Amino acid sequence: MLLTALIVLTTLLPRAGLDGVERRLDALRPAPAPAPAYEAQGRAVSNWRPEAESSLRPYALALTARLSASDPAFVARCVKLNNYWCIKRARWSGEIGGDAEGHTAFRSAADGADAAANLLRRYYQAYGRRSALAIVRRWAPAACGIAPVVASSAARTGPAAPSPAVAPGLTTHGLGKTLRARFLARHLRGGAPRRAVAVRSKPGLRVQPWSPLARMAGRPGARPGGRAIAAPPLPAIATGIAEARPAPRAATSHVPIRGADNPAALLDRRTPSPEQLVAESATLPLLAPGFSLTDLKAPAPICAGDSVRIDNYAARIARSVGLKPTDDLKLFSTEGAPLPNLAAVMLAMSAVELGTMRAAPDLVDAAIARLATAPGTTAQAGP
């Protein structure tokens, strides 16, 4: 009946009337959304707000990020890249750009979840990294560069070459060629510059540079910290009994004025520029828990902070599946099929990377389902 009415209307109405109806229908249809694009100035993908609303939890924070006119403080930088696992660039499917640190900008959150699942399978099978600690050491390596980052196309084709063992806190050239070694060679403890001090002292006597004896170098007859006082005249009866004392030597122009002799001279010293202070402070030994303040000669454990971060990251992942950081996470079978622990691990990793938010379980489950049917998997996920 309805089909008959439509046929009658199309045959009776003039062509002009049909064109008007079509134009009205086109106006009612929603305009197609523009293709996602990476905006380098804002370091964000153009569609990150709607993607965050549908793919992140808690939903209240995701909705706030969608409706907010500015970027909320709780939104991590990887959220604006549709990259909820902070994966580095490696020509992934759906990759449309990347920030200055090499993090990938994905066309959608689903592409980012697919890349995370594929990368975890590569870690587990190709690289043999099966524990939480082994995965995190390569996924989020220490800033001092002990472990390499998988962020290049060569890393996708095969296992990376093993990196040489480097002691924490040392460069590959050793301590002798570092800026810190050169700084310690030119300065005393506390940062004071070394000065060549010629001191006439007894054999075996060690004179510190800040001692009064060091300030008396070259002036054995002068008293430290004060002016020489002339001896009172001897009485006539004692004339010739004692030898006449030598007169104090007058200060010459070539003798530098020291702070102990004239404190006002300290104000005339040249003050280092802020750039020089920043450059010198960068070479000072860093302090870390367990490092003694009294022994600044030993190399400071500059990677101690990153070690704690990696240990906490691995412990968070292991707790999500009730294991220890060094236990096998059981993410994939021998055939490459994803196991149930994979979803919990991916959710925990996104929560660590994003801080206040995490990936939605539906996003992770859909990515694992696509991975189970992707090439390289010969069996479906088992119990």
pLDDT in tens, 324-344: 999 999 999 999 999 999 999
Q: What percent of the chain has pLDDT over 90?
A: 42
In terms of Cα–Cα distance, which of 56, 35, 54 is closest to 46? 35
At 325 the pLDDT is 95
How high is the mean pLDDT of the chain? 73
| Torsion sign, CA atoms 164, 167, 171, 174 | negative
Is 381 within the bounds of a domain? no
Is 300 within the bounds of a domain? no
336: left (phi over 0), alpha (psi -120 to 50) or beta: left
Which residue reads 């906490």 in tokens?
Answer: 312
Residue 104: strand pairing partners: 98
At 369 the pLDDT is 96
Is 49 within the bounds of a domain? yes
Instruction: Give the whole-angstrom CA distance, residue 93 versus residue 111.
Output: 7
Contact of 115 with 103, CB cutoff 8 Å: no
Is 101 within the bounds of a domain? yes
Q: Residue 258 pLDDT > 60, yes or no?
A: no
Degrees (nearest 5) of the Cα angle 155, 138, 147?
90
At 12 the pLDDT is 55
Q: Residue 224 pLDDT > 90, yes or no?
A: no
Question: Hey, what's the torsion of the CAs at 146, 150, 151, 155, to 10 degrees?
Answer: 130
Contact of 58 with 357, CB cutoff 8 Å: yes
Q: What's the pLDDT band for 380 if we cut at 50, 70, 90?
A: very low
User: Could you give the number of structural domains in the chain?
Assistant: 1
Q: What's the pLDDT band for 299 if we cut at 50, 70, 90?
A: very low
Instruction: Give the whole-angstrom CA distance, residue 342 versus residue 39.
Output: 32
Q: Residue 348 pLDDT > 60, yes or no?
A: yes
Instruction: Give the whole-angstrom CA distance, residue 303 versus residue 162.
Output: 20
Is 309 within the bounds of a domain? yes
At 306 the pLDDT is 80
In terms of Cα–Cα distance, which of 284, 308, 305, 306 is closest to 296? 284
Is 174 within the bounds of a domain? no
At 65 the pLDDT is 93
Q: Residue 354 pLDDT > 60, yes or no?
A: yes
Burial tier of 55 (Cβ tally within 10 Å: 0-12, 13-18, 19+): buried
pTM beyond 0.85: no
Q: What is the mean pLDDT of residues 15-42?
A: 71
Chain centre to alpha carbon of residue 295: 27
Instruction: Give the whole-angstrom CA distance, residue 310 versus residue 204.
Output: 51
Q: What's the pLDDT band for 379 if we cut at 50, 70, 90?
A: very low
CB neighbours of residue 180 within 10 Å: 20
Question: Hey, what's the torsion of the CAs at 160, 161, 166, 172, to 10 degrees?
Answer: -110
Task: Print the domain residue range for 145.
Answer: 38-159+305-372
Q: Residue 244 pLDDT > 70, yes or no?
A: no
Q: Residue 47 pLDDT > 50, yes or no?
A: yes
Tokens for 71, please give them.
Answer: 């970027």
Contact of 306 with 137, CB cutoff 8 Å: no
Q: Map residue 188 onto helix, strand or coil.
A: coil
Q: Residue 38 pLDDT > 80, yes or no?
A: yes
Contact of 306 with 168, CB cutoff 8 Å: no
Q: What's the pLDDT band for 141 if we cut at 50, 70, 90?
A: confident
Q: What's the pLDDT band for 164 if we cut at 50, 70, 90?
A: very low
Which residue reads 């070694």 in tokens?
Answer: 181
Is 234 within the bounds of a domain? no
Q: What is the mean pLDDT of residues 206-229?
A: 58
At 205 the pLDDT is 60
Lowest-confidence segment of 12-21, 116-125, 160-169, 254-263 by average pLDDT: 160-169
Lowest-confidence segment of 105-119, 158-172, 231-245 by average pLDDT: 158-172
Which residue reads 């996924």 in tokens?
Answer: 139
> Quick one: DSSP state of residue 238?
G
Contact of 354 with 78, CB cutoff 8 Å: yes
In terms of Cα–Cα distance, which of 122, 95, 99, 120 is closest to 107? 95
